[in-house]
Amino acid sequence: MSKRDFQNEMNKVAESSANLLVDNILRKHNVKLDKNSLSASQKQHLRKLVKDLQATAERLQREYKKEEKNK
């Protein structure tokens, strides 16, 4: 298994663990998710947040690749 495959598998495990944890917490507190509960401004804010997080993740990946090449 290559290093990239291993990292992908670890990411999948981390994501599913986080989803399970969040789901359990929401159920514990009897939270019901409504599909249309966000206002337009909240949706816009969330979209911007996701774009910012994606940009940060991409930047970190590029820096990681640079460090790996320099080793």
* pLDDT value for 70: 83
* Average confidence (pLDDT) over 30-55: 86
Average pLDDT, the chain: 86
Domain range summary for the chain, segments of one domain joined by +: 1-33, 36-71
pLDDT tens digits for range 20-38: 999 899 999 988 877 767 7
Query: What pLDDT sits at residue 45?
Result: 94
Of the chain, the percentage scoring pLDDT greater than 70 comes to 96
**What's the chain look like in SS3?**
CCHHHHHHHHHHHHHHHHHHHHHHHHHHCCCCCCCCCCCHHHHHHHHHHHHHHHHHHHHHHHHHHHHHHHC
Higher pLDDT, 58 or 71: 58
